[in-house]
Amino acid sequence: MPRLIIAAVIAIALAIAGLLGSCATFTSPYYDGDPAKAHHTREGFRNNYAQITPPDFWKWQWERFRDGLPKPATEPTPRVEPDVAFLKANATEPTMTWLGHATVLIQVGSYNIITDPHLTERASPVSFYGPKRHVPPGLNFEQLPHIDVVLISHNHYDHLDAGTVKRINAQDGGAPMFVVPLGLEKWMRDLGVKNVVELDWWDRLGVGGLDVYLVPVQHWSARGLTDRNHTLWGGFYVKHRNLSFVYTGDTGYSKDFADIRARLGAPDIAIIPVGAYEPRWFMQNQHVDPAGAVKIHQDLGAKFSLGVHWGTFELTDESLDEPPRALAKARAEAGVPDARFFVMKVGETRRLTPLLGPPRF
């Protein structure tokens, strides 16, 4: 009964806020009528290929209640103890470490890069309600090596976590460089982050020996009820002489990935979501399923891909442990070898030299 009361209160609050918000007007400060930037509009930002009309959220919630969803997992999300000493000492060997959900630590050269860091307990605007972590992060704050670059793909709560951002910004040895899409610099500065750069799609940022590009993907943004698409979203393409990788952030399947390959080349590694995809009528345009993730892997021409965005927060109707099984089926149907598109255990580090060859100095 308490959960039903809380849900009812939230529903009423959403309805009232939605009515109030419908009267609000917003003019994007980034819109200047440039025809070369068709993803800029007066009202905010749009996708290149498919615009996402908000599906019927309450229909989905009714179906979940009616059908007893989400499905329970039969196996816990696999986790291993991280090799903290190696990760803190490593300054030469390219590696990837999955910390859970969409958070991946990539080491290349002397750089420690982290994607959409989320190390706190809930993916929610409040600490007492909302999606709760089902497995501890692969590294806690004290175990992280010194982070040099933080890549933020968009502003949804499971990808942009204020508590994590503040802790990493205050790390010993100085703050990292935060790279964010248009519109998020102010949010970051309001949080006390000073070392932040915002990018538009296809913009390039040089960070020492790294070239960082924000690339288009098919998604949307919002942190409240009245700010839908006011800030940009995207993926990242990072190039270093020893490693190139794409991190897609959240995305539906689109021609954007063929465009990325045509413009920037095929990456060594792609980090692609494989979870949070059911029901398809609700999620299709905004979250790929494993079959769509395999198509992205193929469109990018990635040598190898890592599946993320599963097993951590219960966001949608599939069970937390279903995505790896669905990925195996999708790989087989597409003729992609198992070793080319894999998942990892939370806390696991994959040394990339055996996959990609020795570092190039």
How is 53-66 classified by DSSP, letter by letter?
PPP-HHHHHHHHHH
pLDDT tens digits along 296-339: 999 999 999 999 999 999 999 999 999 999 999 999 999 999 99
What CATH number matches the domain at 84-353, 3.90.1200.10, 3.60.15.10, 2.60.40.650, 3.30.43.10?
3.60.15.10
Alpha carbon distances (Å) from 48 to 218, 249, 255, 257, 287: 7, 16, 9, 11, 16
3-state secondary structure (DSSP) of residue 312: coil
CA–CA distance, 312 with 77 (Å, rounded to integer): 7
Is 149 exposed, middle or buried (CB count within 10 Å of its CB: 0-12, 13-18, 19+)?
Answer: buried
pLDDT at residue 361 in the model: 55
Sequence-separated (6 or more) residues with CB below 8 Å from residue 216: 39, 47, 48, 201, 202, 234, 235, 256, 259, 260
Beta strand ranges found along the chain (DSSP E)? 40-41, 44-45, 95-100, 103-108, 111-115, 149-151, 177-181, 196-199, 204-207, 210-215, 235-240, 243-247, 269-273, 304-308, 341-342, 349-351
Counts of helices then strands in the chain (DSSP H, E): 10, 16
pLDDT at residue 360 in the model: 66
pLDDT tens digits along 187-232: 999 999 999 999 999 999 999 999 999 999 999 999 999 999 999 9
Structure tokens at 307: 């599946």
pLDDT at residue 19 in the model: 35
Handedness of CA 135, 81, 120, 350 (dihedral sign): negative
**Nearest Cα residue to 70 out of 55, 60, 57:** 60
Low-confidence ranges of the chain (pLDDT < 50): 1-23
**Nearest Cα residue to 56 out of 315, 279, 290:** 279
pLDDT at residue 12 in the model: 39
- Other beta carbons within 10 angstroms of residue 10's beta carbon come to 12
CA–CA distance, 23 with 47 (Å, rounded to integer): 24
Tally the residues of the chain: 361
pLDDT at residue 357 in the model: 85
Residues linked to residue 181 through DSSP beta bridges, in sequence order: 199
pLDDT at residue 22 in the model: 38
